[in-house]
Structure 1
Amino acid sequence: MKSIAPDIPVFKLYGESLAWPTPDLLHCESIPQRSSLHHWEIKPHRHADLFQLLYVQEGEALAAVENQRLRLAEAAIQVVPPLCVHGFQFSEDIQGYVLTLAAPLVAHLEELLGHNLGLQGGFACYPVGADRAYLDLLFERLFREYRGHEPARELQLQALVNLLMVWLGRHERRRATPLGASERNRQHLTRFMRLVEQHYREHLSVDAFAHRVGLSGVHLNSLCRQLVGQSALQVIHQRLLLEAKRNLIYTAMTVNELSDALGFSDPAYFSRFFRRLAGQSPKAFRQSAAAGGAPTPHRDDEG
């Protein structure tokens, strides 16, 4: 695999824009599903606020993770924390799954587990050994549930992810922190992401967030652009947009109620905010989501 270039792209999912593509807090796909579109090679890149698990079942994967090169020729789970530069080259007979967890779910899991998923275990690789059948079943059900629209789907997905995190936690060993961005910058960004998760409904200014992180607003913006590929304000707005989309799909809240719940003082301003970032009105988004089979509740809406 080629060496990692100095300008590493930042993706949500490989090859896609910086907008999280789904109102779900996770994304699950087969390894061939995406890698086959790129001639079985995922070039070096990183994710700003996503935690990924790559489960190789069959075939071979050559992994470039920060300054290390790994060869996965047996069933194993490769952990890729946020900000970790990584790339893969797969054999054409590769079989397995990629599970991607978004920032809100990562924050929830970190609270349950009592440690930071991005820094504690690093980019560990765990051979599955005797647990192969258990993990095959776990990933298969997670993949099937993710693609379906059964009742209580989100609850079932959460339960399956929890089981997977317990398995990882029990197999975790202390490892060296990855050598991507400097440790201090990684910690600053992690702190900022956590504060956004806690306070995005309060519409704090970038300077207010920066003060709590211990940086100037200019420094925080520079850090976000360097490691995330977005300004600090864009990070905050994308979190608000994700929550708005989730509520439009999974709740019966009216636009007025949603505007208030997300801390907007004026529903008209919320609708303009949503249209600017999503490219359509909240009502149109809800209708298109319902037409696409998403579990949208029945209730009159306005706006």
Structure 2
Amino acid sequence: MHHVDFIDYPVSDDTIFFVAPGQVHAFDGANDYEGVIIHFNASFMADEESSESIFMKYDVFNAYDSLPYCKITSEEADRLMLLVNEMNREYSLTGAFAHRDYMQNLLRLYLIRIHRSGERKEMQKLYVSCIANRTFVRFRQLLEQNFHRVHTVQDYADLLNISVRTLTKYVSQSAHRSPLKIINERIVLEAKRQILHSTLSIKEVAFQLGFEDPSYFVKFFKRMTGKMPKEFKNEAKDR
């Protein structure tokens, strides 16, 4: 099992997990795993201009409304390993001409192949050619950048220069959920992380997430999780 953000997911052959910055994750200790970890920071994929780049960052990794893994065929796994082996070879050639560009392009090829062929269960496949899907992924991008302070659908619609009605329509077509539900779930996910894995008080967590009134944050957390923040923390520690 792979524990990602408070949920356990089964690990099986030909599975690729996507772990975004800030996610809390760990494999169980009951089994020996054989696989590959590709570790890179956000600035390594910093091209935010093209729709394809935004898709790779905010559809593959920062898709908190979907499962954090996909399945590939064994044949595709063999093809991806060719790219991994080339990454390993290039990694040691730090002084070579265009070393960083070469590594970035290998990584982009790897992610493009996953986006083309990976099967992400319980998630509708998104297409860069579809305006609703492009807008939804852009919404995800803005949410990830602003959820600490921006909490309303109107604000995100304004950032996208579209109406609330259009944003709601596009998000519903792409994710079968409302934008407000996705916003609230992202906020409460971060709240859980901070409550369990930081030294911040509940009041400090509330302020960090843009709640001027800590009591409103507590009510929000209770409405979303069914538990008070302290109750959630104590139950998690007892497991």
TM alignment of 1:246-261, pairs within 5 A:
246-261=193-208
Structure 2 match to 1:113: 45
- Structure 1 counterpart of 2:187, one-letter code: L
TM alignment of 1:132-147, pairs within 5 A:
none
- Structure 2 counterpart of 1:275, one-letter code: K
TM alignment of 1:62-141, pairs within 5 A:
95-101=13-19, 109-115=41-47, 116=53, 118-119=55-56, 125=76, 126-129=79-82
TM alignment of 1:203-242, pairs within 5 A:
203-242=150-189
Structure 1 match to 2:149: 202
The alignment status of 1:281 with 2:228, answered yes or no, reads: yes
Structure 1 match to 2:5: 23
Q: CA deviation at 1:101?
A: 3.4
- Structure 2 counterpart of 1:113, one-letter code: M
Counting aligned pairs with the same residue, the percent is 23
Q: Which runs of 5 or more structure 1 residues have no equivalent in the other structure?
A: 1-20, 32-94, 136-164, 293-303
Is contact 1:274-1:280 (8 Å) kept? Answer: yes
Write the deviation string for residues 182-229 of structure 1: whole angstroms up to 9, x where unpaired.
432222112111111111122342122112112110110111122122
Structure 2 match to 1:49: none
Higher strand proportion (structure 1 or 2):
1
Structure 1 match to 2:28: none
Q: CA deviation at 1:171?
A: 4.9
Higher helix proportion (structure 1 or 2):
2
With structure 1 as the length reference, what TM-score do the two structures score? 0.48
Q: Distance in 1 between matches of 2:9 and 2:55?
A: 19
Is contact 2:54-2:141 (8 Å) kept? Answer: no
Change (3 A) 1:280 1:187: same
Aligned length: 175
Q: CA deviation at 1:102?
A: 5.2
- Structure 1 counterpart of 2:233, one-letter code: R
The alignment status of 1:263 with 2:210, answered yes or no, reads: yes
Change (3 A) 1:227 1:103: farther
Structure 2 match to 1:169: 107
Change (3 A) 1:256 1:185: same
Please, which of 188, 205, 208 is the counterpart of residue 135 of structure 2? Answer: 188
- Structure 2 counterpart of 1:128, one-letter code: M
| RMSD (Å) for aligned C-alpha atoms | 3.9
Is contact 2:132-2:170 (8 Å) kept? Answer: yes
Change (3 A) 1:186 1:119: farther
Q: Distance in 2 between matches of 1:130 and 1:119?
A: 17
